[in-house]
């Protein structure tokens, strides 16, 4: 068992793939002996060492069965009632399948699924030649999470007819010609089939074992060998490779981003949009043609040990399919994933004597290189170390206050949550952890002194989970700073990684890992963040409803409970100033056009989410689109003539500021962007078998993979709507450079949420500077925070 305590929101870990187009059916998949053995090893730990151990019996089998079907066909677009009636024979037999090491049943279900995908999508492609009548008054019920299975092929085909009609209408409203629409959709649906056909035995096993693991509790997962490797990369924020972000583009593996300082950048021979068509090992190794390969298979060939050579055959971005290739050799090096590392910025608030400099620490994840720390590496990667360094730089910049921005930070290392809190308190308990036996231990900051003892705010949203909640709760309980934003995710559990290959003494990665809940954490005041999250001192508009996203959206989440408080003494009394800050916040935002636009955008988004159907009548859709566009232009026009903010920082725009368009919801391409990165901060975004078929690269949490951002792996951009409106395309159908331009535009938008948080902290600074007594109450006392 790896001695790592992890904190984060859950995600599905099943692999989706990009495929080489082709109509030949793939062979039926079968379980391997090693997968059957891995299932036994995983079961031993899940049934005996989980925080909430549950027997693997007939009752659990029924839960696994339900989740497995949901993973494959959650929107009920492929199977019919007769299919499910046949599958029901396995409903209470999956426990026996695991114990008897006979996984033929789950694989048989998958093979039928693959066949149904081919049938449904082939039918969809046949409709393209006929076109559609958009004058009819009919609608598409696109939210099918609670729908029943179609009774027969005729009913499910009608669902697909409406789905395809909606896809066509989206492209038509975007100005595409009928020929372009046919070509785009035919290629899209062909790729759906190919992606599923390229799923392999490991993918099916991982999907099935995740159905088992997540049936116990939402944050328990199975990770196959490939997912385990990506998980490790996400935690340590580094890997050994060439330093390029890759994504699929038609049949090619294309370069989306080149990481500064990496081998690819230093070669000065590669550029964004170049397509990798072949990969060879060593100076003289044969180059394998990788056109049409799964993206993760190409990644595996490009990654490798430090100081080894990989040879790439490249088709330049500006060359046609028959263009001239070139070959280059790159020596692999250690590449840092800086996108997920802590960063700083400074926001100027006010003018003249009222000017305040607010430092911002943006922390996407509580990362730590566990292996390097275990080895005794003095320079191991650590969120706390990076933040401490940035705080020193902000001090040198003479900032008046600091905001720690934890929006969409899904968690990470428990040790990092404790150590990071220690930068802002003298010393004392940070979090209480209760194991399955009921024993409670305190995790404390033992290092006296603070890296920052000035005014402090913590900015959170619904995507702030686990380790983020530990930090925010401790800061709140100590009265050390003001918590601003939305109620957080509500995860109050601790996970550990069990390396099944290590316990089985395998020489090579074969069995994978189990991420298993082993404890529950509690605030130092005795309360829990489980289900309830951390309630901010100053609330901002909700970006997403609790029933749709967060711990309370899971049907098997652990209940809220509490324990005795730890012995601690608050270091400040932030409550004495909060009412004044709220009053100033309300007054300021009442006249802030950007803030009002944000509230209006969120109201529109909630209204659209509440709708479960969309019209397939062109006149109705054009009217709806024009109304949305008119609203957007009116809001932009008001904002352009108003200068209610003074902030000059331009970090990534808050996802809540974008209007959610109904047309994207219907297409199934949108996802919650206020998302908690999975476990340990940025888990693998892989998509499951269902995602491969219907292009929903989503999980329950919308988890995002840090590892994808620094080397050969898949880009996670979903192409949200921006000022250009909906283009009707899937992410991999867009030109990389135009897609990057959209992304850059989004990042440059003013972050009204962060700006308002800076104003609130500036208000606090003004209040305490004008009142010494208030300052003594709010700022940390010069005493230890531990009470013996």
Identify the active-site residue in 63, 236, 344, 491: 491
**Is there a catalytic annotation at residue 382?**
no
Q: For residue 183, give every residue at least 6 positions away whose Cβ sits within 8 Å of its Cβ, in sequence order, or none.
A: none
Identify the active-site residue in 238, 345, 464, 466: 466
**5: which strand partners?**
496
How many residues are present in the chain? 788
Buried b (16+ CB within 10 A) or exposed e, 753-787: bbbbbbbbbbbbbbbbeeeeebbebbbbeeeebbe
**Is there a catalytic annotation at residue 547?**
no
Q: Where does 134-280 have alpha helices with state H?
A: 153-173, 178-197, 201-216, 225-236, 263-267
Q: In what order do the strands lie in the sheet with 456-460?
A: 343-349, 356-362, 401-405, 456-460, 482-485, 538-539
Conformation bin of residue 206: beta by default, left when phi > 0, alpha when psi is -120 to 50: alpha
Identify the active-site residue in 83, 95, 203, 477: 477
Q: For residue 191, give every residue at least 6 positions away whose Cβ sits within 8 Å of its Cβ, in sequence order, or none.
A: 18, 19, 21, 732
CB 761 within 8 A of CB 455: yes
For residue 686, give the 3-state DSSP assignment. Answer: coil
Determine the Cα–Cα distance for residues 486 and 488; give it in Å rounded to an integer. Answer: 6
Nearest to 449 by CA among 476, 475, 428, 474: 428
**Is there a catalytic annotation at residue 329?**
no
Going 462 to 468 to 473 to 475, the CA torsion angle's sign is negative
- Rg over alpha carbons for the chain, rounded to the nearest Å, is 26
DSSP per-residue codes, 603-633: HHHHHHHH--EEE--HHHHHHHHHHHHHHHH
Determine the Cα–Cα distance for residues 196 and 626; give it in Å rounded to an integer. Answer: 37
Determine the Cα–Cα distance for residues 357 and 183; give it in Å rounded to an integer. Answer: 54
Determine the Cα–Cα distance for residues 532 and 535; give it in Å rounded to an integer. Answer: 8
What is the DSSP-derived secondary structure letter of residue 426? S
Locate 784 and state its tokens.
């230890």
Locate 527 and state its tokens.
């309360």
What is the rounded (10 degree) CA torsion for 252, 257, 258, 259?
-130
Determine the Cα–Cα distance for residues 118 and 190; give it in Å rounded to an integer. Answer: 9
CB 205 within 8 A of CB 31: yes
Place of tokens 């005041």: 525
CB 399 within 8 A of CB 350: no
Provide the annotated active-site residues: 466, 477, 491
């Amino acid at each position: 068992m790896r001695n790592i305590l992890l904190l984060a929101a859950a995600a599905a870990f099943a692999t989706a793939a990009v495929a080489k187009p082709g109509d030949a059916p793939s062979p039926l998949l079968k379980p391997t002996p090693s997968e059957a053995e891995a299932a036994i090893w995983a079961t031993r730990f899940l049934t005996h060492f989980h925080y909430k151990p549950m027997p693997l019996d007939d009752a659990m089998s029924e839960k696994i069965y339900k989740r497995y079907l949901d993973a494959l066909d959650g929107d009920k677009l492929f199977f019919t009632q007769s299919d499910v009636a046949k599958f029901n024979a396995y409903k209470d037999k999956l426990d026996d399948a695991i114990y008897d090491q006979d996984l033929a049943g789950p694989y048989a279900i998958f093979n039928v699924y693959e066949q149904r995908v081919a049938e449904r999508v082939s039918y969809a492609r046949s409709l393209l030649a006929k076109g559609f009548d958009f004058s009819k008054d009919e609608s598409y019920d696109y939210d099918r999470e609670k729908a029943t299975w179609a009774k027969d092929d005729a009913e499910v085909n009608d669902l697909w007819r409406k789905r395809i009609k909606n896809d066509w209408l989206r492209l038509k409203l975007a100005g595409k010609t009928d020929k372009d629409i046919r070509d785009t959709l035919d290629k899209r649906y062909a790729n759906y089939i190919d992606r599923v056909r390229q799923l392999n035995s490991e993918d099916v096993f991982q999907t099935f074992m995740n159905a088992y693991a997540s049936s116990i509790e939402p944050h328990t997962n199975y990770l196959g060998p490939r997912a385990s490797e990506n998980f490790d990369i996400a935690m340590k924020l580094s890997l050994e490779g060439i330093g390029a972000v890759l994504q699929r583009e038609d049949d090619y593996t294309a370069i989306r981003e080149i990481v500064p300082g990496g081998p690819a950048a230093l070669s000065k021979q590669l550029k964004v949009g170049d397509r990798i068509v072949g990969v060879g090992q060593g100076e003289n190794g044969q180059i394998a043609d990788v056109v049409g390969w799964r993206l993760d298979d190409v990644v595996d060939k490009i990654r490798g040990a430090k100081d080894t050579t990989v040879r790439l055959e490249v088709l330049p971005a500006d060359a046609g399919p028959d263009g001239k290739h070139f070959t280059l050799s790159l020596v692999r090096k250690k590449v840092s994933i800086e996108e997920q590392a802590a960063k700083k910025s400074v926001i100027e608030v006010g003018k003249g004597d009222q000017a305040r400099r607010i430092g911002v620490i943006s922390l996407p994840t509580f990362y730590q290189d566990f292996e390097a720390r275990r080895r005794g590496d003095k320079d191991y990667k650590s969120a706390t170390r990076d933040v401490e360094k940035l705080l020193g730089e902000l001090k040198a910049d003479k900032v008046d206050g600091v905001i720690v921005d934890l929006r969409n930070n899904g968690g990470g290392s428990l040790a990092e949550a404790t150590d990071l809190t220690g930068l802002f308190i003298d010393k004392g308990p940070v979090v209480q952890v209760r194991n399955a036996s009921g024993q409670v231990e305190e995790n404390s900051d033992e290092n006296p002194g603070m890296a920052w003892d000035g005014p402090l705010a913590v900015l959170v949203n619904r995507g702030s989970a686990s380790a983020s909640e530990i930090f925010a709760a401790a800061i709140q309980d100590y009265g050390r700073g003001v918590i601003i934003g939305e109620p957080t995710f509500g995860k109050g559990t601790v996970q550990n990684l069990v390396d099944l290959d290590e316990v089985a003494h395998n020489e090579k990665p074969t069995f994978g890992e189990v991420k298993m809940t082993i404890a529950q954490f509690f605030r130092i005041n005795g309360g829990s963040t489980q289900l309830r999250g951390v309630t901010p001192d100053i609330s901002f508009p909700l970006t997403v409803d609790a029933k749709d996203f967060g711990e309370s959206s899971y049907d098997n989440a652990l209940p809220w409970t509490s324990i005795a408080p730890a012995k601690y003494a608050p270091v400040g009394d932030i409550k004495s100033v909060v009412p004044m800050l709220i009053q100033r916040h309300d007054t300021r935002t009442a006249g802030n056009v950007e803030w009002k636009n944000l509230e209006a955008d969120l109201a529109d988004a909630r209204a659209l989410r509440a709708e479960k159907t969309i019209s397939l009548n062109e006149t109705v859709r054009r009217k709806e689109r024009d109304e949305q566009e008119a609203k957007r232009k009116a809001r932009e026009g008001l904002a352009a003539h108003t200068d209610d903010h003074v902030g000059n920082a331009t970090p990534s725009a808050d996802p809540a500021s974008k209007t959610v368009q109904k047309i994207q919801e219907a297409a199934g391409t949108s996802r919650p962007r206020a998302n908690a990165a999975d476990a340990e901060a940025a888990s693998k975004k892989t998509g499951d078998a269902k995602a491969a078929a219907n292009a929903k690269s989503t999980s329950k949490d919308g988890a995002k993979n840090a590892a994808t951002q620094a080397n050969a792996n898949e880009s996670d951009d979903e192409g949200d709507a921006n000022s250009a409106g909906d283009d009707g395309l899937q992410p991999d159908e867009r030109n990389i450079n135009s897609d990057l331009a959209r992304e850059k535009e989004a990042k440059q938008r003013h972050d009204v949420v962060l700006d308002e948080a800076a104003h609130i902290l500036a208000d606090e600074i003004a209040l305490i500077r004008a009142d010494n007594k208030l300052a003594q109450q709010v700022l940390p006392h010069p005493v230890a925070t531990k009470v013996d």
